[in-house]
Every structure is written in C-alpha cells, then in structure tokens.
Structure 1
C-alpha cells in the first residue's frame, strides 16, 4: 500500500501523524481512516451542467448550507475572561443540525474591536506572523516580523479544516478581513471605540520591516485592501500562497477573499481571486474561490461580485431574503444573512433561496463573547438551523442537477423544475389555498412534504394533462410539493 504523506498535518504534529500513518499502513488501512472515509473524493467545482450548484467527482449537484461564527478559527474575546472556543463542540453542533458548510473566520489584527470601547482589550490569536521584536507594538507585545510566518497558526488552520472534513463539512477559508483594517460605519476614527488598525501587523508601529499600510495617514489601513501599496501586496500574496500550500490537498476547502472589505477593494479582490486560481493550477487540486459583498464607509455593489472572476459570490440586498431573484446560472450564489440582516434568522429565508436556485448560510451568534459566552446556544435560531439541514437532505433526494428555478410554472412563484420530469414547489403561506403547477402531460407520483421535518404527509399518483393542475395540500401549514414523473 502507498501512504500519501501529503495528508500529513504540518508542524509539531508531523511526527505523531507519521507514526499513525505508518500504523495504518501496517494494518492495511488508508488515510481515509484518519481523514474520514465517507467524505467525497476531490474538491468541489462549479457543476458543468448546472452552474447554480457545486459538484464533485460523483457528478451530483450539491448545495452548501450551515452555521458559521466569528471565533471558529482564531480565539477572540476579552483577554483573561473569554473562555477558549470549543471547536469540537461546535462541530458536534453542526453535525447535529446536518450542516455541510462553514465560513472559517480570519482576523488580521491582534487587538481591539470597533464595537466596544477603546479600553476594552479584545484579543485575537493566534496570528499569522511571528512576534519577535525588537521593540513593542501598540498593544505592548513584541512587534511582528512579516518575513516569519507563525507555523502554529497554519497548523491550527489545517487541523481545523481536517476536523471539519471528518464530519463531512466543507470550509470556506477566509483569507482577509475587512473589519481588521478600519472602523466601519464611522466618519473617521472614533477615539472612543476600539480601532482594529492599531492592532494590525501592517501598521508601521507594529512591525520590524518598515511596512506602512496607512499611506494617507488617516489612522486606518483601508489601502491594504487596494492595489496601491506594492510592499504590502507582496506580503499578502506570500500569505495567500502559504495558505494554499497548507490546504491544497484537502478536498473540503473553498476560499473566500475577504469578509466585507470596502467598496474600493474590487480590483484588489479580483487580484486575489486570480492569484489563488493561478497558483493552484500548478498543484494537484483546484478549489472554488468566492467574493463577498463589500461594505464600509463606501459600499460595493452586487455588480462587482457578478462581474468578478470568482466561482461563487455572497450578495447583499433585502430581496435575497424576502423574494430572491431566480439564479440564472451565471454564478453560484450563497446568500448569507451576515451581509443583509446579521444576528437575525428565519427558516423561510432558507427555503425561499433554495427554490430560487441559491444556497443559504447563517451568521450564527452561537456562544460568542458579545452575548456573554453562554453555556448553551440561543434556541430562537433553531428553526433556521434545522431548515438548512433539511434543505441539504431534500437536495439529495431529487435530481437537482437537471432542475432550474421556474417561477412561472407554479402559483406560489417558488418552483424548481426539470420540465416534464420532476418538480418541487414551495408554498410558504400557512393559510393560503392549494398549489397549481403547469405540467406536461403524464403520470406523476405526488408527495406532500412538511418543511419543518421533511416528513411525507401525503402521497398519491395523478394523471396530468398539459397545463395547470390544482393540488390541495393536506393541511394549512407551509408545504413542499414534489412531483416525479413515473
């Protein structure tokens, strides 16, 4: 048997993993025993026949959905007070809700947060660079050496992705963070609030390399997410390549350039997308790269996303929660309430997007320090959490690859259809009448499904003629109608 040493965890754990792999080889087992044998082989890609969805080696259409939270990679919270993030418990939580995707949050800065007073010391760790000095940074700790990566940071990154893989969870690895370079929602720096730029390695007072990310001297680093500063860009490019080197041979990886960088970051984000794509061309695997909505003192536009070279995008706009536009297949659309109504949830958002050809993910408070690090999660978000798991399961029960959003075929305007073969129709209104569907003539197996738990509440068969056919739902609750030609 050949053991693929590419799956080794990097850093201090190498020797232990090598011994484990040797033992597996002696026992005649594969690395799948270590990394999760049930997980599909090969990374996701845009589906070649239906670009609304992802696919892998199986050729099936795949939707991504799940909860993500701010501390799932780096620790963040009040120094000396906030407990360490229990990542395994978080994975248990995701697995219990049958989720298959998380955004893995990256913070570029070491201290301070704009949502709390300046004298509240919010720490983020580990950081990507070594703190060697000489000299102290603004947070009183040694300055960063931008030429020396902190290997413990990258070990942790890989370990977290591998652990998610063992649970069947895909990971959107965030490369940069818009909330690390500026105070958002303020006009200039508010001295009463924490300024993340004061804790950033590219702040000239925080590194030993003479790097200054604040070219205009306004006390913030918005220029670091632009193409104005070649010395900064050199270090950023090196960081991206290091991340790709760390994760390339893991098949549950996607990349996201940045969380809510400002509206002037467009060309910089395009550069980063193309950098990942070009760098991975020379490597065994290529992974999807995404771009999220831009926000700051100047917002971006959804047009910036859809015109980007990204494989998937996270847009902004209330319409993506209330009445999502049907996805025309130009990009994979992952709707994240973080960019629209953060800290809120509604299971109907999941289903509205599912039936318009989109994916939905939830910005989940989970046990964040800003809600006092509770022992138990807030159950008010459970309906949305459950709906995401149900949407994943329903997608696997139908031939999603062949289906498109066809609003005009159903009275409810929520319809996925492979015309003449298979239809899924959503009735979100609890007190509305039945559903009418424009069918091709033929015999169809009919199932009424309860979206609250995916139980089939009624089954029958119908002989349909061309045109609209009326279906009476078995109760006044919201419902999903599945029609499959016999």
Structure 2
C-alpha cells in the first residue's frame, strides 16, 4: 500500500478548477517557513523569513507519516509541486520565493499571470536552490528514521526543470547517505517532456505519463532500471469519462506488465466539473463522504494487492506470449509453475501450459473484478501449448493457475533485509 503526501507551495492556490466557472481560490497553511514580517506579502499576510522554519509544519508532516506507518502504508513525500507554479499562480498568491513575499532578498522573477516557474528552472545553484536545499534537509531530518518513506521531488513540472530535478535527486541521495535509512527517490512525469527524461535520470522510481507502463523502465541513469509506479494523475487524464470496466483495465493491465498503479482518488474533494467527483454534501469544496462511483476501482486496487501476495512475486515476470489476452504474469519451471492472466474484455482465451509435463495438474481460480467474487474450478492438466479457458461470468476476468503442489519458491530475501535501505515490500 502506498499513498502520496503533497506539498502545496502556494499560500493561495489560485483558481482551483473544480467548477466550470468562477473557480475558487484555496488558501493553505502552515508552510515550511515562518511568516514573521515586517511587511505584508501579496496574499495579505506577513512576509516569510526563509531562514526560519515553522516547526508546526514539520511536526504535522511527521505525525501523518507515522500514522500511515501504523496503518501499514508507505508514503511518497512530495518535496515540491512544480505543477502549481506552472499553472495556478496569481499576483496575490504569496509564494515564498517571489521577492515581494520574503525578507531575504530572494526573487524568482514572477510578476503576474498563471505561470511563475523561476524557482525550478535554474540551470546552476543560486540563492533559491540554497534555501530549497536547506528545506529538503529539514524534511529528511524529520522523517529519515521512518522506514515507510519514499521521496519524490515534484510532479508535472515544466520540461525545462530537468537540471533542478536532477539536482534535488543528487542532493537527497548525498544527504541521506550518512543517515540510518536511504529511502527510494522518485521522479514524476514532466509536462511536454517524454518519459525517457525520467527513465534516464538517477531516480530509483518513476511515475510516467504513458497510460500502460512498459515491462521495463530502463535508461542511462543510475540505477539504470527504475521501479515504475503508474500514477493516474499523470497517465489517465479523463478517467472519469470511462466505464468502470475501462478503469479496471488500466489497473490490471499495468499490474500484468510488472508495474503498479496509484489512483489519484478525489475522495471527499467536490469536483463537479465534468462530473469528476460528485461526493456527498459538499461545504467549501469538501464533502462528508466519498463518491461511491469510485468504490469498485478502489476495491480493485485491493484485489491486485491480494493477488500480488498470493503469487510468488519475486519469481513471476510479464509473459504476454503465453496467453492470447497479452496480459500474463508467470513463472514456468518444470514443477511449481503459476500463471495469473487478465482478460480485459472477458470471453474465451488460451494459455500455453507446456512448461510442466502433462503428468502435473494446475489448480484453477477465477476472479471477477466487477463483483469481487472468486470461484474455484476443476484442476487442469499441464502440458498443453494452447489450453482453452472460458470465464464463468461476463466482463473482464482474472484467472489464477498454480501447480497443485504449490508454486516454486525463490529463496530471495525480502526487499530491504540486511541493509539500511528502506524499500517497499
């Protein structure tokens, strides 16, 4: 289980696009720095002193990450949010790195408009990066001892922010190298930049813009190959326009290609524009309960987790050539084989079961992603290169086959065992 904690860098988020006309401004506090004044920032509150941290911000961050740890949930901590600077600025947003809003003579050059990205598009260290680096170190000091942490620099930042993203990845890695834990560092899709940018970086994990992630996410960086977590926020714009089955296709197809998904769940944020999230009894854009339209998708993320634990996940790999649906995770030793197959549209399909001899048999379990119901079928013999299978229900379907004596085990230690690396399991 993994969720994300966002930093909203703008004291005033200008024009939150939840409605078609007259979008509201949202105000945010606390932020990482104290608002001491003297003088008034453009949002009408005291100016920031960027040399003084607001400890309440970091205390709240730690409390939330600890609560998630207690619930068995990993958390990707956003250090910055470049998207806001790229789209949602206004002349009264109070952004700390704009000269009118701080006491420290630091200025990102912003004057007006919805875009002000000077604090993330530099190409060499400057006064702003020095202050950002100090803030990042404070976040690391606050959370480093917690093993459920992943870092992520930013998301949907502009294409010309690559130096800044790379700098922060390098900075986090160097600063944490002397700490008890070295947490995985993430890099999310940039606006109008190909996914090769993040694959060629030195990040440990990535969140691309492609709808279905590739079976490998390798490039020229170190490490060369990344953990790929496909976040619907970047890859599935318009998810609200599709059917529940199409939504499920997105999640299961990513899992079957060896990746995992994150759902940008609107939860209790009222978002009636395009009917994105019609949650219950909204007041000031926040509801008393979630929109049940998304429950089946939420449930399917849990179903995927269940099957990830049922499989020998260390041994299975994407093997699209083994099944006619094109979506299959499998390990194929001569004894202990197992297969997880997804049929996006349902109906009959075939599987190559020739890895094991016909003398062995495979247990059969059908799973219906629409209802959450599973059904055990009669065992089938191994040996066939084209075993026909037909789900006992309509719509998309999952089939789990495993040697009746159990799947082969790897003996590979659990991720993170015996090291100082905090790695999701």
In structure 2, C-alpha distance between the alignment counterparts of 1:136 and 1:300, rounded to whole Å: 37
Q: Give matches, 1:203-352, under 5 Å.
A: 203-214=98-109, 220-228=115-123, 230-295=126-191, 299-318=192-211, 320=212, 324-327=213-216, 330-342=225-237, 344=239, 346-352=247-253
Residues 354 and 360, structure 1, Cα contact 8 Å, conserved in 2: yes
In structure 2, C-alpha distance between the alignment counterparts of 1:141 and 1:361, rounded to whole Å: 36
- The structure where strand makes up a greater share of residues is 1
Residues 199 and 217, structure 2, Cα contact 8 Å, conserved in 1: no
1:473: which partner in 2? 391
1:423: which partner in 2? 339
Residues 227 and 267, structure 1, Cα contact 8 Å, conserved in 2: yes
In structure 2, C-alpha distance between the alignment counterparts of 1:104 and 1:136, rounded to whole Å: 29
In structure 2, C-alpha distance between the alignment counterparts of 1:231 and 1:197, rounded to whole Å: 23
Q: CA deviation at 1:268?
A: 1.0
Query: For the structure 1 residues 157 and 262, does the alpha-carbon distance in structure 2 shift closer, same or farther, using more than 3 Å as the test?
Result: same
2:288: which partner in 1? 375
Matched, 1:413 2:350: no
Q: CA deviation at 1:429?
A: 1.2
In structure 2, C-alpha distance between the alignment counterparts of 1:288 and 1:475, rounded to whole Å: 41
In structure 1, C-alpha distance between the alignment counterparts of 2:257 and 2:23, rounded to whole Å: 46
In structure 1, C-alpha distance between the alignment counterparts of 2:371 and 2:165, rounded to whole Å: 40
Residue 358 (structure 1) aligned to one of 251, 256, 259 = 259
Superimposed CA distance per residue, residues 232-267 of structure 1 (whole angstroms, 9 cap, x where no aligned partner) = 000000111000000001011101100211101112
In structure 2, C-alpha distance between the alignment counterparts of 1:119 and 1:461, rounded to whole Å: 58
Residues 15 and 25, structure 2, Cα contact 8 Å, conserved in 1: no
Matched, 1:107 2:8: yes
Superimposed CA distance per residue, residues 363-409 of structure 1 (whole angstroms, 9 cap, x where no aligned partner) = 11111254532211111111110100111111011101111111111
In structure 1, C-alpha distance between the alignment counterparts of 2:264 and 2:115, rounded to whole Å: 26
In structure 1, C-alpha distance between the alignment counterparts of 2:92 and 2:83, rounded to whole Å: 9
Residues 86 and 158, structure 2, Cα contact 8 Å, conserved in 1: no
Q: CA deviation at 1:195?
A: 1.6
SS at the partner of 2:8? coil
1:40: which partner in 2? none
Aligned residues: 370
Query: For the structure 1 residues 325 and 196, does the alpha-carbon distance in structure 2 shift closer, same or farther, using more than 3 Å as the test?
Result: farther
In structure 2, C-alpha distance between the alignment counterparts of 1:196 and 1:161, rounded to whole Å: 33
Superimposed CA distance per residue, residues 262-309 of structure 1 (whole angstroms, 9 cap, x where no aligned partner) = 1011121111111111111100011111000112xxx22101010011
Residues 112 and 198, structure 1, Cα contact 8 Å, conserved in 2: yes
SS at the partner of 2:386? strand
2:282: which partner in 1? none
State the structure with bigger RCO (CA 8 A, min sep 6), 1 or 2.
Answer: 1
SS at the partner of 1:176? coil
Residues 290 and 312, structure 1, Cα contact 8 Å, conserved in 2: yes
| Aligned-residue CA RMSD (Å) | 2.3
TM-score by length of 1: 0.72
In structure 2, C-alpha distance between the alignment counterparts of 1:363 and 1:412, rounded to whole Å: 27
SS at the partner of 1:277? helix
SS at the partner of 1:223? coil
